[in-house]
Chain A
Amino acid sequence: KAGVTQTPRYLIKTRGQQVTLSCSPISGHRSVSWYQQTPGQGLQFLFEYFSETQRNKGNFPGRFSGRQFSNSRSEMNVSTLELGDSALYLCASSLGGGENNSPLHFGNGTRLTVT
């Protein structure tokens, strides 16, 4: 099985711009989660989607949004970029059954640099 695929691998944007990141989960996985990784804050949960619905949300401002499509692929959008949004954004997928949590499988991430 192919792993979790994130595109693009690297992005450079300017303050005030917006950006869209893409994630293709492992085939058969219905849950997609997004995490932000920074040296100062570590790994922080952004949100999780399951069957096209946001099921969990972390403590990030409304500038961070996401969606999931019927084929389980997911996109994350950040509007009005700030310097502090520079980070590695990780996508993870899992079966998402809930009753018996399946482990998350992570992608390689998208490295976003805001200048």
Chain B
Amino acid sequence: AQSVSQHNHHVILSEAASLELGCNYSYGGTVNLFWYVQYPGQHLQLLLKYFSGDPLVKGIKGFEAEFIKSKFSFNLRKPSVQWSDTAEYFCALTNFGNEKLTFGTGTRLTIIP
């Protein structure tokens, strides 16, 4: 069975700080990896995705993530956060040819102005 782990439950940063949110997964086959963001009161939105190719993927709003197959990781990064990045962030995966998303438990990010 596949699973996704997000070890940081709540992260608090000051504006302009650098961000890295951890995501590890467990699955033996080919995976597609995603980061979704849920701003307060809004729907889940796709930040970025990895299907294949360059393991460093860039998403919206200055976010990027790196797929490291040997570490089963897909960490999310942003060099300088803004107050508007306050949200909950979910890492998720699907296995090849399957629409079912398996989500991590989420990381709540609070940015202090």
Task: Point out residues on A near B: beta carbons under 8 Å.
Answer: 3-4, 31, 33, 35, 42-45, 48, 50, 55-56, 58, 90, 92, 94, 96, 98-101, 103-109
Contacts and interface: CB of A to CB of B under 8 A. Distances in A.
B43 A33 contact: no
Contacts of A98: 97-99
B17 interface: no
Given A42-B103, A56-B99, A101-B96, 10 more contacts: A31-B99, A33-B99, A45-B101, A55-B99, A94-B99, A98-B97, A101-B94, A105-B46, A106-B45, A109-B43
Contacts of A105: 46
Contacts of A31: 99
A3 B44 CA distance: 12
A106 B44 contact: yes
Chain B binding surface SS class? loop
A106 B105 CA distance: 17
Given A43-B90, A101-B51, A101-B94, A96 B43 contact: no
B69 interface: no
A58 B102 CA distance: 10
Of the four ranges (under 10, 10 to 19, 20 to 34, 35 or more), the interface on chain B belongs to 20 to 34
A105 B34 CA distance: 12
A48 B46 contact: no
B32 interface: yes
A31 B99 CA distance: 8
A106 B99 contact: no
Nearest to A55: B99
